[in-house]
Amino acid sequence: MMIVMRDGAPDDEVQGVIDKLHAIGAEAHLSRGEFKTVIGAIGDREKISEIPLAALPGVETVIPIMKPYKLVSREFHPENTVVKVGPVEIGGEDFVVIAGPCAVESEEQVIDAAKAAKEQGARILRGGAFKPRTSPYSFQGLGEEGLKLLARAREITGLPVVSEVVDVRYVVVVANHVDVLQIGARNMQNFLLLREVGMQQKPVLLKRGMSSTVEELLMAAEYIVRGGNTNVILCERGIRTFETATRNTLDLSSVPLVKSLSHLPIIVDPCHATGKRELIAALAKGALAVGADGAMIEIHPDPQAALCDGPQSLDFEQFRAMMEELKAVAPSLGRRI
């Protein structure tokens, strides 16, 4: 249920509505937009409907939200959410490029990649320290040591960092070192993990599960926002289809679809979507054209020698060329790189 307050309704009237909801054990999620203050009421429908909400002081109207996701829906919050990561804003005018190695392998590798990312205009550094690998025999990441190397790369370049958290036991450790917590495709429906990152305040980059619908992605985001953390960035990273020519199939249609259904920002990861470095620049431009808020790109000083995802990683020259292309087209789409 969405309770829309009258323009200029004073704080005590807003609080009056919240108190009534709390009194029957319902949750009240407050959204103060530029024009409207809206309270999202979540709880037992029958109990909520027994409160004469429409008659409370300051209430303009009461509207049911028909979608299964509530707090992340555009109905609840009509304006775009802009997630701030230090000085970087995701969801505004900027098309934010996040770049870095699939996995942090060594100090030299991650610092070289961070410098190359920064030099070409990337705004955030990525790097996996805890890697969710299909095979237990593959490189699993450097763990906390990898997080420390990312923090060192941030010190040197000033770029904020994002890294994946794969388990509830590591949320605090990862949050202590990084600026954005990534939830990977394999964990998109790890509901305990979603709850846990929802209870801390660092922004969360939530990747679409490889076999998940857009609705399931938004329901996963709802878990995080419901916990009190509204700083969620969605990421389209391709889904599994019958097509085997690419690692996954990049569902670019999800970007404008998500934009219409939700106020949350969404970026695109063309690397995991295709598994092929020669397709990345074209699809990064596609992401920009369909209205994504950014792209996440894997880069490596020597992709042939990468311990993870080398075939979908760009070397620094290829990354430079891709950034040039993006910088050339961004202004015509009203975006800044």
Q: Which of ligand PEP, Mn ion, none interacts with 207 (beta carbon under 5 to 8 A by kind)? A: ligand PEP
Task: Fill in the per-residue mask, 177 to 216: x = in contact with ligand PEP (CB under 6 A), - = not in contact.
Answer: -------xxx--------------------x---------
Task: For residue 263, give the nearest of 22, 90, 141, 35 by alpha carbon.
Answer: 90
> SS3 breakdown of the chain: % helix, strand, coil, rounded to 5?
40, 20, 40
- Please count the residues of this chain forming the interface with ligand PEP, following the rule CB under 6 A: 11
Task: Fill in the per-residue mask, 80 to 119: x = in contact with ligand PEP (CB under 6 A), - = not in contact.
Answer: ----------------------x-----------------
Using an 8 Å Cβ cutoff, are 249 and 221 in contact?
A: no
Using an 8 Å Cβ cutoff, are 65 and 31 in contact?
A: no
Using an 8 Å Cβ cutoff, are 208 and 236 in contact?
A: yes
Confirm or reject binding of residue 272 to ligand PEP (CB under 6 A): yes
Using an 8 Å Cβ cutoff, are 278 and 237 in contact?
A: no
- Sign of dihedral through CA atoms 271, 146, 266, 98? negative
Q: Which of Mn ion, ligand PEP, none interacts with 185 (beta carbon under 5 to 8 A by kind)? A: ligand PEP
Cα 100 to chain centroid, rounded: 16
Shortest Å distance, C-beta 307 to Mn ion: 10
Q: For residues 32-71, which are near ligand PEP according to CB under 6 A?
A: none
Task: For residue 71, give the nearest of 49, 41, 33, 36 by alpha carbon.
Answer: 41
d(CA 192, CA 65): 25
Helix (H, G, I), strand (E, B) or coil at 213: coil
Closer CB to ligand PEP, 15 or 213, in the complex: 213
d(CA 170, CA 129): 11
Using an 8 Å Cβ cutoff, are 245 and 276 in contact?
A: no
Q: For residues 92-131, which are near Mn ion according to CB under 5 A?
A: 102
Using an 8 Å Cβ cutoff, are 255 and 227 in contact?
A: no
Shortest Å distance, C-beta 272 to ligand PEP: 4
Shortest Å distance, C-beta 242 to ligand PEP: 19
Shortest Å distance, C-beta 117 to ligand PEP: 15
Q: For residues 119-138, which are near ligand PEP according to CB under 6 A?
A: 128, 132
Closer CB to Mn ion, 58 or 184, in the complex: 184
Closer CB to ligand PEP, 43 or 275, in the complex: 275
Helix (H, G, I), strand (E, B) or coil at 335: coil
Shortest Å distance, C-beta 159 to Mn ion: 18
d(CA 37, CA 14): 8
Q: Which of ligand PEP, Mn ion, none interacts with 237 (beta carbon under 5 to 8 A by kind)? A: ligand PEP
Confirm or reject binding of residue 237 to ligand PEP (CB under 6 A): yes
Q: Which residues would be at the binding site for Mn ion (CB under 5 A)?
A: 102, 309
Enumerate binding residues for ligand PEP (CB under 6 A).
102, 128, 132, 164, 184-186, 207, 237, 269, 272
